[in-house]
Amino acid sequence: MKEVSSRYTVSIHYDRRLYKQDIAGSTAHARMLAKQGVISNDDADKITSGLEEIRSEIKSNKFPWREELEDIHMNVERRLFDKIGDVAGKLHTARSRNDQVALDVRMFTKDAIREILEGILGLRKALVGLAEANPKTVMPGYTHLQRAQPLLFAHHMLAYFEMFGRDAQRFQQAFERADVLPLGSGALAGVPYPLDREYVAKELGFSAVSRNSMDAVADRDFLLDFQMASATCMMHLSRMSEELILWSSDEFAFIRLSNDYTTGSSIMPQKRNPDFAELARGKTGRVYGHLMGMLTLLKGLPMTYNRDMQEDKEGFFDTFDTLSDTLTIFADMLPQMTVNDVRMRSAAQDSYLLATDVADYLVAKGMPFREAHGVVNRMSEYAFEQEKFLHQLTLAEYKNFSGIFDQDVLDISVESSVETRNVQGGTSFEQVAKAVKEARANLESSDA
């Protein structure tokens, strides 16, 4: 029982990841205290030099972690005492662990978002690259997982480009809400010292200072923002994973994934399993779980800080690691993917995807759309019974369903179908080429 109780409150095994942020925050705090005359410049120099030594020790794996000190803050503080003596005690002037940990987590969140945005950018580059490399590839578009209408593979890739663009926006918004300095709020009510919080904010790269000390130490909404943005991004990755898994099957054979991102079977030597895509699809669930965990953690907490909030970090760290790794993998996996354009076009042509185009043909000849819909519906049933596709029907067979049909109906093809969708946001060759160009320009501006 004693062993369990002694480790129950310990967080150092995971919150040690905050060491860079903790030391940076402490360094800025010490400099500010000296600037404001709360401690001497000499004491501040000793403190900052000691903190830099500690940072080097941690980075080189030479730091003597002590579990009985529970968290990153106390481990760093105790080590600072070892190095510079009682002067270390002055560092915690005008500061509480409540606003200290809030600072550390906000700084880590901002760093994490920067990395995630780089990962999203890399993935969007990969998607545009695929679109550029396959400008004329026609494939079936689906609704209800049934073949619906022809479209361009590049158009399909740009759909994901748009999805991940919205994810980037969500993370940018999350960054803005994390970009508020809480340090200087103390435990909950502020501190009785002449602090220069704006100075600390500038030193640590924050664009704003918190306006309410209670909210500053109690707020974890910025972590919810991160978790929600991550869950949505993983959902998009999972949707893409599902399609990659389907498309790489023999039944579809639209793509072939690189050997680097497939694995074999322990018993079936022919297998090339899309394990990376499957794992991404599966890991989406754990990210969802961390979001629900955070929501549940916060839903009943009274103001202000409560020890429950120690539980905000493990799920957050795991979400960050999972999403960051998945984005990196997909950004590398997609460019190595082989697109089977012949198979894609065949799947689009050898089906009933042109039915809407035939109905539109009748409409162009003056038939009301609902009537045309019925005609082509009956025609599709007939073709199915004859074991033919629409492009295999003769003009005489067309005329059996309507005298409006003429020789030009035989010119309808998957390419003509694509080309007629020449509206803004459509799948025509012209519109998609324009969209690819705009997407590339968007990426170049993001790199600037």
**Catalytically annotated residues:** 144, 265
Sign of CA dihedral 205, 210, 214, 219: negative
Rounded CA-CA distance 310/223 in Å is 13
Closest by CA position to 174, among listed 350, 320, 15: 320
Sign of CA dihedral 423, 429, 435, 437: negative
Locate the DSSP E strands across 246-326: 255-256
Rounded CA-CA distance 342/178 in Å is 49
Rounded CA-CA distance 334/160 in Å is 12
CA distances 99 to 67, 91, 238, Å, are 22, 14, 37
Contact 183, 95 (CB under 8 A): yes
**Is residue 253 exposed (0-12), middle (13-18) or buried (19+ Cβ within 10 Å)?**
middle
Q: What is the DSSP string of 111-133?
A: HHHHHHHHHHHHHHHHHHHHHHH
* Helix (H) or strand (E) segment spanning residue 359: helix 355-364
Contact 308, 297 (CB under 8 A): yes
Token couple for 26: 């402490």
Rounded CA-CA distance 433/436 in Å is 5
DSSP secondary structure code for residue 266 in this structure? S
**Is residue 441 exposed (0-12), middle (13-18) or buried (19+ Cβ within 10 Å)?**
exposed
Rounded CA-CA distance 126/116 in Å is 15
Place of tokens 């959902």: 235
Q: 259-262: list long-range contacts, CB under 8 Å, 24+ apart.
A: 260/332, 260/333, 260/336, 261/329, 261/333, 261/336
Beta-bridge partner residues of 151: 139
141 three-class SS: strand
